[in-house]
Structures are given as C-alpha cells and as structure tokens.
Amino acid sequence: MKNFFIIMAGGIGSRFWPRSREKNPKQLLKINSQNTMIQNTLQRIEGLVDPKDTLIITTKTQKPNLIHQVPQIPEENIIAEPFGKNTAPCIGLAAILIERFYPDAVMSIICADHIIANEEEFKRIMKVGAEVAYESKSLITIGIVPRRPETGYGYIQFDDEKKESNPYYDRGIFTVKTFAEKPNLETAERFLKSGDFLWNSGMFIWRVDTILEQYKMFLPDLYEELVNLKEKVLNPDFDNELEQMYRRIKGISIDYGIMEKAKNVYVTKGDFGWSDLGSWDEVYNISQKDQNQNATVGKTYLFNTTNTYIYSPNKFVATIDVDNLIIINTDDALLVCKREKSQNVKEVVDYLKRKQMNDLL
C-alpha cells in the first residue's frame, strides 16, 4: 500500500490579522511553539510517510516562504495554485498528479494550520484510516470529539451501532448518517447532548482511484478538466495550462461537492487534542495563563486586567481595568477586540481589500 500525504497550505488566515498576511499567513507563523505551524505539521507525520511522498498545495505568493521553511520537501512537491478555488480543485489536482504513477495509492489530506496535542493517537488514527480506505475503497473523514457546543464548525452525525453492513466497526470506523452545516447555539447544544455528532475537521483519507471516481460521478465538469490537465503535466507550459483551467472551473468545497452526496462514507473519531486555531480566542484558550487568566507575549504591565490575550513582542503594552480582550500589536497595525468577537477579525481584512490598502494585507 503506497501512502501519500497532501497538506493544504493555501489559506490566508484572515481571522489572524494583523499577524497573518497574504505572503506570510498563519501556517507560516510561530503561534504556539518554536516552529511554524507547517513545520509542526510535517514533524507530526514523520514515520507515516516519506518526505518525497508529501505534496503541499499552496499559492504563488506563499510558495517562496514555504520552500525556505520546509527544505526536506522536494521543491517540485510544493504545488502553487494560481488562485484559491476551495478544496475540491485543490484535492483533485493532487489526485491527478499522484495517479500518473500510483493510481491505487492512499491519499491522506490534512491542513497546515491545525494543532494536535496527542501526536501518537493522531498517527494511530491515520494508520487505521489508511488501511481501511485501501481495503474498502471508501471515503473516510476524521471527526473530532466535541468539547463544547461550537457554532463555528460543521458537524458529522455517525451511526454508533455495530451492524453487519459495517465490517470496520471494531476498528473504530463508523458509518456517516449525515453532514450538518455550522449550527446556531441551540442546535449545537443539541448535537453535543446527543453524543452522535462530531466536529468536521476537514481531514480525509481515500484511495486516488476512489476519489477520482467520485469526481467523475458528482463533479463531472471538474473531472473532465482534471483529466485534460493530466495529459499536460509534462508540458513546459504546464503552469499556464493550470491557470487557464482554474479560470474555467467553479470553486467548490470537497464537502459540498462530494462528501455530502457520496454513499461509501465513513468517519473515525479523532480524540487527539485537535484545534484548528480558527481565531485569536482559540490561541488564548491553548496558551499558558497567569493567576488572572491573562496570556501575554512581550513586555506588559497589567493592572486589574483579567481574561486577556496580548501579543506585542516589540512594543511595551500597559492595560488598566480591562477584561476579556484580544490585543495584537505588530509593526504596522494594532487590533483590539473582545475575545468572543475575534471571529469577526476577517471583517477588517475585507475592509482593507475594499479600500485597496494592500500594504496591510
């Protein structure tokens, strides 16, 4: 069984502004360790796959920094999309590049900007998932055991009963009942109470031939474009062919395009201390805190300050009589917001785009 890892590393991390920028986004930053997030991701999969069997899908603007940060990955394995079109084109592109040599290889798709606390359990889950994906020719997704009624994630409902129709139950593989979009708080609380819903992590495992068959069935226009592109991989003008294809295709996620429609879908529980660090509030949650529940990076003076996260490595910050804030201070920008509103930081990025303030993006 040949195994490849595909690392999606093309996002701009708009909720992490002002640290995350288009050329140097979240996955290229040191958030919670001495290594960047992409470096931690590669370290996490050591022993599961050879570096030459790892593909990183990114953007043109991010590729130079990636090449510098991950010298163990062959440069030709760092694939730059012309521009983002969501996850289905990204994963399909990786699939056709692998299919040329290993049509029945297993693809394990992960993200460059996730945190995994229990890496041994993560490796165990990925190994089992790869084995089942290869044997069953099914689509497997990783669902995260929920810790709270989260409204920022999609959910996966699974069948927790042992049935003859699921021969992989004893290996921790469950049949998917349904996918649910991001719920409101009341619905999220109901999901959590039911015990048969998991957070949708955006991690997947399947065979190359299996997923391409699903593209052919559910995304025929994209499949045709991918097949045509495969014939041009060795052309000197491949980058231009890729850009022209991306201009023709429609952007769509793998969840909407395939996972919610396919029949042979399983989920396995990922109870390994996962976080997608989707906001500055999530960084606060995983950070070490003082007796007043403050977490800081840089020199600070905190007077009557509680439950606050401050990042200001180059400037002294003093706070007086404040609670529950996010303060991010960089060389050219300052962000101040309530912790529970940190998801709205993307609105700042949208504003900067509208005003064409590109020096801040």
Residue 234's pLDDT is 80
Provide the angle, in degrees to the nearest 10, between the axes of the packed helices 119-136 and 37-44. 60
Q: For 80-138, what is each residue's pLDDT tens digit?
A: 999 889 999 999 999 999 999 999 999 999 999 999 999 999 999 999 999 999 999 99
Q: Are residues 56 and 85 in the same domain?
A: yes
- Do 130 and 14 lie in one domain? The reply is yes
- Do 173 and 200 fall within a single domain? yes
Query: Where among 275, 296, 331 does a domain terminate?
Result: 275
* Burial environment of residue 76 by CB neighbours within 10 A (0 to 12, 13 to 18, 19 or more): exposed
What is the C-alpha separation between 289 and 285, in angstroms, rounded? 9
Measure the CA angle with vertex 202, ends 197 and 203; round to 5°: 100
User: 81, 94 in Cβ contact below 8 A?
Assistant: no
Which positions ≥6 away from 150 have C-beta within 8 Å? 188, 199
Query: Are the C-beta atoms of 145 and 109 separated by less than 8 Å?
Result: no
Q: How high is the pLDDT of residue 271?
A: 93
- pLDDT of 201 reads 95
298 in the same domain as 262: no
Q: pTM of the prediction?
A: 0.92
Of 259, 275, 291, the last residue of a domain is: 275
Contact 81, 90 (CB under 8 A): yes
Clarify whether residues 179 and 89 are in a common domain. yes
Helix axes of 208-218 and 87-99: crossing angle, nearest 10 degrees: 130
CATH of the domain at 251: 3.90.550.10
Residues 197 and 346 in one domain: no
Together in a domain, 324 and 217: no
Whether 159 and 235 share a structural domain: yes
Opening angle at CA 147, ends 185 and 7, nearest 5: 100
Domain range for 64: 3-275
Low-confidence ranges of the chain (pLDDT < 50): none
212 and 287 in a common domain: no
pLDDT number for residue 162:
87
Number of folded domains that form the chain:
2
Identify the domain boundary among 230, 245, 275: 275
Do residues 286 and 261 both lie within one domain?
no
Residue 161 Cα distances to 157, 193, 248, 259, 284, angstroms: 12, 17, 44, 21, 37
Residues 17 and 69 in one domain: yes
In tens, the pLDDT along 268-291 reads: 999 999 988 888 998 999 899 999
188 lies in the same domain as 299: no
